[in-house]
Structure 1
């Protein structure tokens, strides 16, 4: 069964057993369970349901496999012939989740 979910401001189409990398869920640790209620579509073929905006009673259960940080992104600003240079770095906080079940 497929479902389209909305989490952390982004939309993902998932099936059971999928592993996703999303923005970190606050106040969670590896091994904790999640319940995502923002399900936009669920099902396939004749059993397909489309929400307006969310499908009533549908939920997706997931488990956090790990919390990690993404690769480093370097932001470099320069104005030529002015002596202006700034270098900043950023690493995004990420959660790796596994979809356990989809209920419609």
Structure 2
């Protein structure tokens, strides 16, 4: 992390991410084009120079602003299935769709 003293934990699409200012994070695919600004309102925890705020469940008036860097795909994940005695084997693969964002500011 860029600065572990200043970070936040945000909730995006039922996933939680620990983010710091200036950090680049890969998240599940989100709508938007490269260069578009995003604001995350669901901040679960915020730490600023050792002072920690914990939300119940979220912190009111706390936001994290970010910018979409690119829409990309992750590394290929392969899955194999095998059925005994049937001589059946199958190998499938898929690449998860990701959105790479840069965290600009934690308010």
Per the normalisation by structure 1, the TM-score is: 0.88
- Between the aligned partners of 2:76 and 2:7, the Cα distance in structure 1 is 33
- 29, 36, 61: which one aligns with 1:32: 36
Write the deviation string for residues 45-103 of structure 1: whole angstroms up to 9, x where unpaired.
Answer: 57421110000000000001011011111211112331222222211000111100011
Name stretches of at least 5 consecutive residues in structure 2 with no aligned partner: 1-5
Deviation sequence 1:29-60 (CA, Å, 0-9, x none): 11111100010111335742111000000000
| 2:8 paired with 1:6 | no
Aligned length: 102
Q: Which residue of 2 aligns with 1:19?
A: 24
Provide runs of 4+ in structure 1 moved above 6 Å.
none
Between the aligned partners of 2:20 and 2:46, the Cα distance in structure 1 is 10
SS at match of 1:52: coil
Matched, 1:80 2:84: yes
Rounded to whole Å, the distance in 1 between the matches of 2:19 and 2:78 is 31
Aligned to 2:101: 97
